[in-house]
Amino acid sequence: MINDLLNKLKSEKFADISVLLEAVKYFRANNQLLQAERLINEYSDFLQNSDELKFELANIYVGTDKIKEAVDIFESLINKSNLCNKTAVAVELAKLYKRLKDYKKAVESINSAIAQEPENINLYIEKIVLQRYLLDGAGAIETLNKVKTLKKEKKVETFINNIENVEKTRQETAPYRVFFTWGMHYLCNYDCAYCYAPKPKDITFANNPNNPAKYESSDVIIDAWKYIFDKYGMSRIRLDGGEPTVYPDFYKIVKELSKMHKLHLNTNLSFDVNEFCGSTDPGSMRVDASLHCEYTNLEEFLKKLEFLQKRGYKLTVSYVAYPDFLENIPFAKKSIEKTGIPFFVHPYSGFYENKQYPASYTESDKKFIYDIDVNSATELVWRKERKADYKRETNDQRKLSKEEIEKTESAKLAHQLENKNNGKFKICEMGRMYARIYPNGNTYRCCSSDGNTYLGNLFDKSLKLLEKAEKCYDVDNCRCWRCMVPAEESRWLHTWMDDWETEI
């Protein structure tokens, strides 16, 4: 087919814009973008007189990451009064502005599209997403009310319900619902060399009476999360550990919780995927799978990923950049990204050959990690000054007396009270829009330490979130890129905006 089209173009008798467009579209459909671009350049005289061909070229530029060039073309097209596909141009331009984080211009582009198609519900949904990025929560709710007047499919009804099920005072404030990290327990069926997650033997958790491991019955757990739903509406719960899936009655718990909340599972993917799919809803459960090559092989890991993917689960994969396993990363990334699943690299925090990481990564190591996952640079910066000793020690070596523990806890409280008179501490939404829950149900404002503003207990229903953003009196120089400091949303909001917030 394509050879016939190219031959026609070479013939003066048949060479016209329609043949060129057909050939270009063929190359685009087959992801042969460079061939399509070369063909347009070869017949550049056609380009000047064809808005449709310019539209094709702009999309080719998008596919080849020539974003500025694509924006320039779309901007020139959108201002034409006689443009026949103005909606399509406006939508594509909005996507590019969103990619460039120019959300104000993106909303303006969507408004242009809405003016052309005032009944197109998908345009309003995209506008809501963009308004949220603009921190215009009230405007997003106003647009949502417009959506409710239009004819809706089931997936749109779900989108509406996801927003309206959030407690009203939090619907208009970024990140637009409460997020919880629930460390279900400390046990794991793996024992990775590089793992710095808390273990049952660690002093902070084994001997500290504040946060011991505790296994409540599934009925108590489900009832506790029903209390949260009644009080704060639909929330996002990150199920953490240890390995969450080895928790007693795990499948019963997630089945019931997913009827009220959105779940985000942090797992090593060691579970039976058939049983998992029979007990969970892909519309309410996102799976963040971590690849641990000490305990699983890539082939089996990929089979499980593809099984879950075919059943509609949203997936990501992460890999720890442990010095012994750095060389495995490119192959793992290539294999996983073939499936279309995002792949992330986490810098290693801990000791290796008596050197502390990530501070001991060489510049070539850092570049290697960064080139594989550009987002890893944020974590490298965040973790670079960490001083904690993550070397494994026996319980006997780390054991503290009850008096020493109580003294430590008293010191934390005194430090917090003293800091309340210090003006350098920042106001933060943590504690109002986010909380960290330990296995015994004790809940704190964030995960910077287990003493950061106690908010009550999940299981006895004394948990009470802050009613307004307050100063953080525990950490005077928080380096966490996820902390919800007002006026710094451009730094942290993308971390919290979930797929079910941005897609229908």
What pLDDT, on a 0 to 100 scale, did the predictor assign at position 250?
Answer: 97
In the predicted model, what is the mean pLDDT of residues 454-466?
95
Q: At what angle do helices 33-42 and 17-29 cross, to 10 degrees?
A: 160
What pLDDT, on a 0 to 100 scale, did the predictor assign at position 105?
Answer: 96
Q: What is the pLDDT of residues 409-458, one digit of tens each?
A: 677 667 667 766 666 778 899 999 999 998 989 899 988 765 578 899 99
Provide the percentage of residues in the chain whose pLDDT is more than 90: 48
What pLDDT, on a 0 to 100 scale, did the predictor assign at position 210?
Answer: 63
**Tally of CB atoms within 10 A around 15:** 13
User: Residue 393: is its pLDDT beyond 50?
Assistant: no
- The closest of 222, 215, 307, 230 to 263, measured between CA atoms, is 222
Assessment of whether the complete model's pTM goes beyond 0.85:
no
Q: What is the pLDDT of residues 396-412, one digit of tens each?
A: 444 455 566 566 667 76
User: Residue 325: is its pLDDT beyond 50?
Assistant: yes
Q: What is the pLDDT of residues 158-203, one digit of tens each?
A: 889 989 999 999 999 999 999 999 999 988 999 888 886 666 555 4
The CATH architecture of the domain made up of 2-127 is Alpha Horseshoe (1.25)
User: Residue 464: is its pLDDT beyond 80?
Assistant: yes
DSSP string for residues in 62-111: HHTT-HHHHHHHHHHHHT-TT-TTHHHHHHHHHHHHHHTT-HHHHHHHHH
Q: Cα-flanking dihedrals φ and ψ of residue 206, to 5°?
A: -80, -40
Which CATH class, in words, describes the domain spanning 179-502?
A: alpha beta
Q: What is the Cα–Cα distance from 332 to 319, expressed in whole angstroms? A: 9
What pLDDT, on a 0 to 100 scale, did the predictor assign at position 397?
Answer: 40
What pLDDT, on a 0 to 100 scale, did the predictor assign at position 232?
Answer: 97
What pLDDT, on a 0 to 100 scale, did the predictor assign at position 200?
Answer: 59
- The closest of 473, 460, 466, 469 to 489, measured between CA atoms, is 469
For residues 32 and 63, is the Cβ–Cβ distance under 8 A? no
Do 2-127 and 179-502 agree at the fold level? no
User: Residue 294: is its pLDDT beyond 70?
Assistant: yes
| E-state strands within 198-347 | 236-240, 262-267, 285-290, 314-321, 343-347
Q: Tell me the domain boundaries of the chain.
A: 2-127, 179-502
